[in-house]
Structure 1
Amino acid sequence: MEGKVSDTATLTPEQRVLPSWTEPLAIAGSASLGGPLGRHAAIGRHWFWTPLRVALLLAVVALAIGWFGKAACAQQFFNEESEQLELDWRSNRPFAAMCYSDIIPLYSAERLDQGGFPYQTSWVDDEGKPTAHTRYMEYPVLTGLFQWVNAKLTEGWLTIADAGWLPTGLPVTIFFDISAFWLALAWLATIWAVTRTAGRRPWDAALIAASPLVMVHAFTNFDTLATACAAAAILAWSRRRPGIAGVLIGIGAAAKLYPFFLLGPLLVLCLRAGRMREWRHTTLAALGTWGLVNLPILLAFPRGWWEFFHRNSLRGADPDSLYNVVQQFTGWAGFDGQVPFGESPFWLNLVSAGLFLACCAGIAFVALHAPTRPRLAQLGFLVVAAFLLTNKVWSPQYSLWLVPLAVLAVPRWRLLLAWMTVDALVWFPRMAFYLGEDNKGLPDDWFLSFVVLRDLAVVALCALVIYEIYHPARDLVRRGGYDDPHGGVLDGAEDRVTIGRRRAGQRAGRNDGDDRPAPSGAGSSSGSVDLDTRNT
């Protein structure tokens, strides 16, 4: 089919998008390297330096910067009073050095240092106080097992180190380094999947590789496990492997629930294209895989398995959430006021869930109403962004979820780099806020102002994505007569279900002055069901 590209290896020089010709940021950056690529240059023929390998190299550099940024919190010192090595978190080091990582305190907080199996092991927080309560591992199953395996690897490392074969250190430091190694591999896998998915735009993956967000948050928590699965699922879908895509979504959701959000965009797009069979295969594979991963833990340790959902229901408005911003700037007490210990904020949970569902309904309307069927990455970005904006919790590392989707949805380098920089910079006032004004930190107004800027940047990207959905000629991915290179069975499919009468003659990816025909079926209303008219 004309305009369809499935693999960068099959691209001709005319098909591949060259950033030094088309992207203003790359054009400006190439000036110090001799200028844009020559028109008679041999493209795609270098024996080693492919776009993927360049992106992976950039990622290794960015991940190294990220590791060094967290390494200050993994330092140890010899305590003369106890006469043993201890983790050096003196003088508020995690916040003063801005190196905080959840991985380090979780090693002891989740009792991984005691060798117990997560979800089976329990403990009492605030023992002896009125707020005493029983706790279990609070992460989804795959993330909890990931931590447990790394704790076992830490024990093995220390055993070998005692024999003099490996360098030694505090168990928590070794645990952090082992975890960081696997998380770095997961981010490299994310870049690999996006590069393979991007088709004729492989250089866009460089934005993921060199993202300021990965330098700050790759090792803040365990989220790169889910981004790798989600990106690989989109790759599998683009290669017309809905079952494999579903399996990867299920695995990713067992680490963090957000990969499940991809099923929503797939539902409305498959409904519009009349490809519900593929959506059912993907959804059943996703739910089945998630169930297979979770069922053994659920049956063996039901209370421990439920802890993740229980703890999330109890959480109030996170400092990074819009609800907290409104509360702090207005003095509003919140939807539930002061919630007693151990009770869930009922109205906050209800409102945040309701707003997200309302946003999803709006996105579904856009997907069915737009004159040209949106691309999968566009809707995926909108849904995940809507969740983060409306959710009561936006942990800073959650922004990593958006990076691969943003690069596939709206590959405008300057805009994406500006957003990622603003989002990454939120970390610094956040750490200064936690440091406290008494310790020369920043007042909360500074931190909250950066949160608002971050949210406005994400909203602006969402508005741009919606604009390009309704004006596909402005969509960089569609230029040249392409429909949805990432859409798999959706690419070039005819519409079956739409809302509203579509403009006659609308073509997917058609640019002003572009006389190439659109892909077969793209933008055609042939066979579509107009839900907004009474025509038979």
Structure 2
Amino acid sequence: MSDGGPAGRPGEGARPADPPWAVPSWSDPVVARATGAIGGPLGRLAVVGGSGLAGVAAALVSLGTLALALGVWRSGHCLIKGWSTPDQFWRACYSDLPVVHVSSPLAERSLPWVGEGAATGTAPLPGLVMWLIAQVSPAAGEGLAAQQWVFALWALACVPLLAAAVVALVSLLPGSPWQAAHLAASPAVVLLALVSTDLLGVTLMVLGLWAWRRDRPWVCGLLLGAALLVRPFPLLLLAAILLVGIRRGRVLPALQALVGTALGALVVLLPLVTVAPEALSSAQLWWGQPAGNGALQAIPRLLGSTVPSWVTTTVAVAGWVAALVVGVRASRHRRLEVEQVTALMLLVVALSAASLSVQSGLWVLPFLALGATRWSEHLLWALAEGLAFLATWLHLAFASDPGRGLPGDAYALVLVLRAAAWAWILWRVGTRPARVAPGQRPVPSSTPARAVSPT
């Protein structure tokens, strides 16, 4: 019996062995040590991926489901007691969905942007998703039951969303499918997936990249168009597709992806704006707003200085322009692929952003999977992200109880550490040669898999 796949049954012709994928417990020292809790790394004769990529995907989806379950457990205090301020900050269990639900027209099953208490800062697609959840929730109104149902329904919806993203990553990494664990099993999923609807945008972005790699530029554009209605980060992936595609002679597919992105956004926006023009309020609020939590630009405010809003906006816009310049230069290198160019541009945008919320870390995870990241590197970044996660809630609670909360100068230091972690990990992803070349397929079935000793 080989390590890469099943052998034939007795009395039958042996089937060709599956490719000898590098199993993390063999190749990554961190994973090998972590498996000590379940008996250690896989043995030399273990069957790994016996049912092909589908088996790997199923195992990773199970890990992702476990991570989401841990996220629900982590939010247990709020799930039982309700999402109230400042308790939800002390307990680090804040979530947009139940909070916005009870404080906006969603409580009456109306669109969140219309009526008394309108959630004007809610982006179009997240607002639409929260409205759909409100429609199917058995409990309405502003009570605890309504909050519990909204949170539970979103947690259930996250399972197929995460599964779709993981399966797409496994498909994109046929030579090293276990790399998709950087999304499925990341500590960031436990902390961030249930804070907001960002996981929807991340999944749409990953599926868009999958469609691009499968020569479906129109589908890619439609998916990216929907994803950017969650956050603008997918625009960076679109820019990378255009730059790399044009540089490599794929001008028509790149333009098709661009047009498809516009159509994908309009398919959602036009009906929504017809009913509720206020759905565009989040884009209007972005312009001219002071620096928000999580961004380096918030540091002067945290230290007691006042920065005009126009300066904050100018720096953020300049960051996007600088990111495009970086993307143009990076796309000239033949060895850099779309996801690597995107990571380098994301680095620039993150460092110059006017706001970088705690859940923004979810958008980094697909690039860690695609960038041959080691788990030691992933966990160092996740440590900084977890520290920023806790520090943000403690800083928000500082106004309620300065004796227990985190003051501005300490929070500023955490933001510097987080920015350094983002810069380091995205630079590593953007400049390190990919472990598996895009489009590479597993070893041909005629090549038998050799036994690999565990490291």
TM-score range, shorter chain: 0.7 to 0.9
Partner residue in 2 for 1:305: 279
CA distance in 2, matches of 1:300, 1:89: 31
Question: What whole-Å deviation, never above 9, does each CA across 1:78-117 have from its counterpart, x for those lacking one?
Answer: xxxxxxxxx4737x31122121112122012221112323
1:261-298 alpha-carbon deviations (Å, 9 max, x no partner): 21111111112101111111111111112112111222
Aligned-residue offset at 1:61? 1.4
Equivalent of residue 296 in structure 2, options 322, 332, 341:
322
Partner residue in 2 for 1:333: 306
Measured against aligned partners, the alpha-carbon deviations of 1:439-474 in whole angstroms (never above 9, x if no partner) come to: 422323332222211111111123323442xxx4xx
Structure 1 residue aligned with 2:135: 152
Change in 2 beyond 3 A, CA 1:267/1:93: same
1:139 alignment partner in structure 2:
122
Alpha carbons 2:292, 2:354 under 8 Å: kept: yes
Question: Contact 1:407–1:416 (CA<8 Å) still a contact in 2?
Answer: no
Alignment of 1:193-208 (within 5 A): 193-208=168-183
1:105 to 99, 107, 110: 99
Quick one: structure 1 residues 65 and 40, their matched pair in 2 at CA, closer, same or farther if it must change by over 3 Å?
A: closer
Shift of 1:486: 8.0
**Which residue number in structure 1 is paired with residue 337 of structure 2?**
375
Structure 2 residue aligned with 1:164: none
Matched, 1:18 2:23: yes
CA contact (8 A) 2:327 2:342 kept: no
Match of 2:224 in 1: 249
Paired residue for 1:363?
327
Structure 1 match to 2:446: none
1:337-373 Cα deviation digits (max 9, x unpaired):
xxxxxxxx222212211122112202321221x3x33
- 476, 479, 482: which one aligns with 2:435: 476
2:346 maps to 384
Q: Does 1:122 align with 2:154?
A: no
TM-aligned CA deviation for residue 14 of structure 1: 4.7
TM-score, normalization: structure 1? 0.73
- Higher gyration radius (CA): 1
Q: Which residue of 2 aligns with 1:485?
A: 439
- Please tell me the residue identity of whatever aligns with 2:393: M
Are the aligned partners of 1:269 and 1:373 in contact in 2 as well (CA < 8 Å)? Answer: no
Which amino acid counterpart does residue 54 of structure 1 have in structure 2?
A
TM-superposed deviation, 1:319: 2.4
User: Relative contact order (C-alpha < 8 Å, sep 6+): which is higher?
Assistant: 2
| Counterpart Cα distance in 1 of 2:263 and 2:52 | 42
Q: Percent identical across equivalent pairs? A: 23
Paired letter, 1:453: L
Equivalence map 1:29-40=2 (5 Å):
29-30=34-35, 36-38=41-43
| CA deviation vs aligned residue, 1:390-422 (integer Å, no higher than 9, x gap) | 110101001101111222124222101210222
C-alpha distance in structure 2 between counterparts of 1:440 and 1:136, whole Å: 29
92-101 vs 110-119, which deviates more? 110-119
Shift in Å, 1:42: 4.3
Q: Which residue of 2 aligns with 1:60?
A: 65
How do 1:455-466 and structure 2 match up within 5 A? 455-466=419-430
Partner residue of 1:72 out of 77, 101, 117: 77
Q: Structure 1 pair 38/225, CA: closer, same or farther in 2 (3 Å)?
A: same
Which residue does 2:314 correspond to in 1? 350
Partner of 1:189: 164
- Asked whether the equivalents of residues 295 and 354 of structure 2 are also in contact (C-alpha less than 8 Å), the reply is yes
Change (3 A) 1:300 1:48: closer
In 1: Cα distance, 2:287 partner to 2:75 partner: 30
Name the CA distance, whole Å, in 2 between partners of 1:176 and 1:465: 33
SS for the counterpart of 1:117 is coil
Specify whether residues 72 and 11 from structure 1 end up closer, same or farther in structure 2 by C-alpha distance, changes over 3 A only. Answer: farther
- Unpaired runs of 5+ residues, structure 1, are 1-9, 77-86, 126-134, 160-167, 337-344, 478-482, 488-536
Separation of aligned partners in 2, 1:176 and 1:412: 33
**What is the rounded CA distance, in whole Å, between the counterparts of 1:380 and 1:28 in structure 2?**
32
1:441 is paired with a residue whose SS is: coil
Equivalent residue runs for 1:76-87 within 5 Å: 76=81, 87=82
Within the alignment, does 1:89 sit opposite 2:72 as a pair? no
Change (3 A) 1:117 1:276: same
- TM-score (normalizing by structure 2): 0.85
Q: 1:111 to 1:461 in 2, by over 3 A?
A: same
Which residue pairs with 1:395 in the alignment? 357
CA distance in 2, matches of 1:153, 1:333: 45
Runs of 4+ in 1 over 6 A off after TM superposition: none
Q: Does the 8 A contact of 1:242 with 1:281 survive in 2? A: yes
- Alignment partners' CA distance in 2, 1:11 and 1:431: 54
Distance (whole Å) between structure 1 residues aligned to residue 199 and residue 152 of structure 2: 15
Is residue 137–residue 144 contact of structure 1 (8 Å, CA) maintained in 2? no
Q: Deviations over 1:154-175 (max 9, x none)?
A: 2xx249xxxxxxxx96222212
CA distance in 2, matches of 1:397, 1:183: 14
Task: Give me the whole-angstrom Cα distance separating, in 2, the residues matched to 1:486 and 1:140.
Answer: 37
- Aligned partner of 1:367: which letter? S
Number of residues paired by the alignment? Answer: 423
| Distance (Å, rounded) in 1 between the aligned partners of 2:262 and 2:345 | 19
Amino acid at match of 1:485: G
C-alpha displacement of 1:326? 4.0
Which residue identity lines up with residue 221 of structure 1 in the other structure?
S
Task: Report the CA distance between 1:187 and its aligned residue.
Answer: 2.1
Kept in 2: contact 1:143–1:256 (CA 8 A)? no
Matched-pair contact (CA < 8 Å) for 1:224–1:400? yes
CA distance 1:404–1:466, shift in 2 (3 Å) = closer
Partner Cα separation in structure 2 for residue 112 and residue 52 of structure 1: 36
**Matched AA of 2:65:** V
Q: The residue matched to 1:274 in structure 2 has which SS?
A: coil
Report the Cα distance in structure 2 between the residues aligned to 1:38 and 1:216, rounded to whole angstroms.
32
| Post-superposition CA distance 1:111-157 (Å, at most 9, x none) | 111232344x233x6xxxxxxxxx55432322211111111112xx2
Aligned in 2, Cα 1:277/1:112: closer, same or farther, shift over 3 Å?
same
Question: What residue number does 1:414 align with?
Answer: 376
Secondary structure in 2 aligned to 1:75? helix
On the 8 A contact 1:377/1:486 being kept in 2, the answer is no
Please say if residues 188 and 385 of structure 2, whose CA atoms lie closer than 8 Å, have aligned partners that are also in contact.
Answer: yes
